[in-house]
Chains A and B, each alone.
Chain A
Amino acid sequence: MVDLLSLVGLIECKDRNVDSLREAVKEALELIDYSFPKAKRIVIKPNMCYYWDYSTGQTTDPNFVAALIEMFREEISPDIEISIVESDASAMKCKYAFKYLGYEKLAKKYCVNLVNLSEAESKTTKVKVKDEVFEFLIPKVIKNADLRVNVPKMKYMTFTKISCALKNIFGCNPYPKKFKYHPKLDEVIVALNKVMPFDLHFLDGLIVCGSKTLKLGLVMASQDPVAIDATAATIMSVNPKSVGHIMLARKEGLGNLSFKIKGADLDYFRVKYPKKGLSEKIVAFGYRVVCALGLDKRLI
């Protein structure tokens, strides 16, 4: 397979104030030669994981989303309708996450909608990945959006190695008991990206949680989820070709593994990123073994 060249823009941003971030995301878009489309409805999908504060590096900084809102209103139209979306999960309820993580305040300040996808109007849709047909409820708010914007974090994950742009779309599945998908996580992640393709991906790498929490000061943008995930994996010292959902997404035509990185030096972020040491790798392996043996129930 010959990959076409995608672009990934890297910007260093040390400040989390909205003005600095707005400039950073604009610069990142310039690096990838992005032209703003005509759009009436935008959907923004941040990463809300449990009820962890942005300062843990686990969840998207509401200031990052505020910067995007300001930029889209400046560049596209001040009247554009913006919805911030998330769905309930096994251990997280949107009604609390929106409030505790600061999105309720943000929505009030910028007059944007907060949508719990688990309660939103949806339509059943089938999608085929690796000769297997999956069926999902697809929320109309995402289906009908003119521009879909993904704002993931970069994290290590026990069962998928990394979590970034592709994995964040897993959270657009309205079904709350998401653990049922764990046996086929790679396929389901790719299926959801296939049925709900997002147009723009901004990585919030201001604060990251690798082996420890660290201010990395990274803003990344791309139109290609495979390219941005592969770049994130490289920064995290994970071989992108060893990540099942990245390789499957590429195979399913969702993006390219050949890409050009523009802007800040990738190596600067790769060296700085708090990578997993041997002890963390042993613990992660041990946890997978514990789960495989069904002993994780004893940890309750």
Chain B
Amino acid sequence: MAKKINLGIIGLGFIGKVHLRNCLSLKSANVVAVADVSKKALKYARKLGVKRLFTDYPELLKQPDIDAVIISLPTHLHAPCAISAAEEGKHVFLEKPLARNLNEGKRIISAVRKQNVKLMVGYPLRYFSGFVNLKGLMESGALGEIQIAYAVNIAAGPFFHRAESAIPRPVPEWWLNKEMSGGGVLMDLGCHIINLLRWYFGEVSKVKTVLGYRFNFDFEDYATCIMNFKCGTSAIMNVGWFSQNTAIGVELFGTMSHARAYFSPSNKAITAIKLILGRTPKFFKPYLKELSHFINYISDSNEKQLIGEDALKDLEIIEKAYKNQIT
């Protein structure tokens, strides 16, 4: 029987808690420690059976029996934490986006290469069955050559009202601070779609953007990007933080046919019931699959998919998109 991977989870905000619950259901991994500045969050982890709790993540990284860490911290802490983890010889699963900017991203990649540890960035859309099937359909040739694609990721962003709760939760301050987040919706949701479209079509040759500011933020809360891919496909991407009803979807138009896939949260009541019963709601199943992939990735020396360099390319496109605005 293969050795179980010992995991440490750093950051127990909303997505950190999703990862924690998912990790506890993985048969090939143990959650041995968690770190968060919030004592309330640590109490939550203790209730789920995690024994070692830290308020300071460097203490967690010093634990010799931890093989890998899941970092779900605010974006401005990605680079220092991921680099420290690599230096301690831990494999790293890092929440998207890779970093606030290309420079920080390059430093992370350099550190994991130097320390010969593995890095994976959390892009759950690649694990949603609808998007996986769409890729299969495209690759089968049934759609012909894809000439045009349309992709959308519209949600509430910082104003994310927990789908399963009736009470709004406070918005973490870092999310409203461009210095800490690295950007607006193009960074937060755009990276998901750019990554997904690159998985479908390969590298981007050209990108142009229109940015919008409905809520008077210091950064964009909606954006439209026009992307040309080297393969000849053109894509339009719409991302926004303005809707209380999440819509994530891709439509492909090829020389033979067209197809689409949309990913939506399940009914609020069903989501709530599943959470109360300790099960994984539909919306979070791709997150479970990506963690499972991460465990396989660090266990298997031949596993190549979704390595950290890939997320660096997403950041490159985002930086180009910010530069090439249509006015």
Contact = CB atoms under 8 A, between A and B. Distances in A.
Interface of A: 49-53, 56, 90-92, 96, 99-102, 104-105, 158, 283-284, 286-287, 290, 295-300
A298 B275 contact: yes
B242 A91 contact: no
Interface string B153-168: 0000011011011111
B268 A283 contact: yes
A50 B44 contact: no
28 contacts: A50-B159, A50-B161, A51-B158, A51-B171, A51-B215, A53-B214, A53-B215, A53-B242, A56-B244, A91-B167, A91-B170, A92-B170, A99-B216, A100-B216, A100-B217, A104-B216, A283-B269, A286-B269, A286-B272, A287-B272, A290-B272, A290-B276, A295-B276, A296-B167, A299-B165, A299-B272, A300-B165, A300-B169
A56 B166 CA distance: 15
A228 to B, nearest CB: 25
A52 B159 CA distance: 8
B162 A105 contact: no
B49 to A, nearest CB: 14
B176 interface: yes
A296 to B, nearest CB: 7
A279 to B, nearest CB: 8
Nearest to B221: A100
Contact of A300 (B17, B158, B168, B242): B17
Given A51-B215, A286-B269, A287-B272, 16 more contacts: A49-B168, A51-B158, A53-B214, A91-B168, A92-B168, A92-B170, A96-B171, A96-B176, A99-B215, A100-B215, A104-B216, A283-B269, A290-B272, A297-B44, A298-B276, A299-B275
Contacts of A91: 167-171
A297 B275 CA distance: 10
| Most B C-beta atoms less than 10 A away, residue of A49, A51, A52, A102 | A51
Contacts of A300: 14, 17, 44, 162, 165, 169
Closest 7 CB pairs of A and B: A50-B168, A91-B168, A100-B215, A91-B170, A299-B165, A51-B159, A299-B164
Contact of B166 (A90, A99, A101, A158): A158
Nearest to A50: B168
A22 to B, nearest CB: 24
A106 to B, nearest CB: 11
| Most A C-beta atoms less than 10 A away, residue of B169, B216, B275 | B216
A102 to B, nearest CB: 7
B169 A299 contact: no
Contact of B216 (A49, A105, A158, A287): A105
Nearest to B163: A299
B259 to A, nearest CB: 30
Interface in B169-212: 169-171, 176
A92 B244 CA distance: 16
Contacts of A158: 166
Nearest to A49: B168
Contacts of A99: 215-217
A92 B173 CA distance: 11
A102 B276 contact: no
